[in-house]
């Protein structure tokens, strides 16, 4: 899929390979990894999954900032190279489906992201109108210069790695932010990705 433009509707070309459920004993817990550009609606969507569908939400930014939230997960996320098997096993111990919101860090771990995909972890990249997302990010961060500089560095990395990102996410790239900025409602995102969760 090419990079989404401002005019694109919510869409995706879902991969032909059916993702596997992470097996914990015989329970089969679904593991969903949500990544994407800053201010593309990742947090809104994973919070909605938590609230409306009783998914366990894991916010990796919070775990990075406060290791006491989940010391084992923090250790797994900060190990280089990433312990992919350990991460999947840790998240698979949950009794509920798990939605992992992973904002900025995947770029440092692209090889691990590719391994997760190869293991069958269901992964989605949220994208869209990048100027609109930057405006939303600026409003969220109060226009702080340091935050905007960090945003711009992150976006430069994303642009540089875009071919590898689209290959890793294998058709699971969706437009979630449009000019305005206007974000796609979580219900619409869920309708699109729900077939890949079964």
Indicate the domain borders of the chain: 31-189
Question: What mean pLDDT, rounded, does the chain reach?
Answer: 83
Give Cβ neighbours of residue 93 (< 8 Å, ≥ 6 apart). 24
The pLDDT score that the predictor gives to residue 23 is: 41
Superfamily name and number for 31-189: P-loop containing nucleotide triphosphate hydrolases (3.40.50.300)
**67-123 pLDDT per residue, tens:** 999 999 999 888 877 788 888 888 888 878 999 998 766 566 788 888 888 888 899
- pLDDT tens per residue, range 17-39: 334 444 433 456 789 999 999 99
Residue 44 neighbours by CB distance under 10 Å: 18
- pLDDT average, residue stretch 6-15: 33
CA-nearest of 79, 88, 52, 69 to 194 is 52
Does residue 152 register a pLDDT over 70?
yes
Q: At what angle do helices 130-140 and 145-169 cross, to 10 degrees?
A: 140
Tally of residues, the chain: 198
Radius of gyration of the chain (CA): 16
pTM of the model: 0.83
Query: Residue 100: beta bridge partners?
Result: 33, 58
* Tokens standing for residue 1: 């899929």
- In angstroms, the CA 121 to CA 97 distance is 12
> Which region holds residue 27: left if phi is over 0, alpha if psi is between -120 and 50, else beta?
alpha
């Amino acid at each position: 899929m090419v990079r989404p433009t401002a005019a694109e509707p919510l869409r995706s070309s879902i991969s032909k390979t059916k993702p596997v459920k992470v097996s914990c004993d015989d329970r089969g817990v679904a593991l969903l990894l949500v990544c994407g550009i800053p201010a593309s609606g990742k947090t809104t969507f994973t919070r909605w999954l938590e609230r409306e569908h009783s998914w366990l939400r894991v916010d990796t930014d919070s775990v990075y900032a406060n290791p006491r939230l989940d010391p084992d997960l923090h250790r797994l996320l900060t190990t280089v190279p990433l312990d992919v098997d350990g991460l999947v096993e840790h998240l698979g111990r949950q009794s509920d489906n798990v939605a992992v919101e992973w904002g900025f860090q995947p770029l440092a771990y692209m090889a691990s992201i590719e391994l997760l995909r190869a293991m069958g972890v269901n992964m989605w990249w949220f994208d869209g109108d990048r100027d609109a997302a930057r405006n939303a990010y600026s409003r969220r961060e109060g226009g702080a210069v340091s935050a905007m500089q960090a945003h711009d560095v992150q976006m430069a990395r994303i642009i540089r790695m875009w071919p590898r990102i689209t290959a890793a996410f294998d058709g699971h790239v969706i437009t979630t932010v449009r000019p305005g900025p206007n974000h796609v409602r979580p219900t619409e995102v869920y309708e699109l990705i729900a077939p890949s969760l079964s």
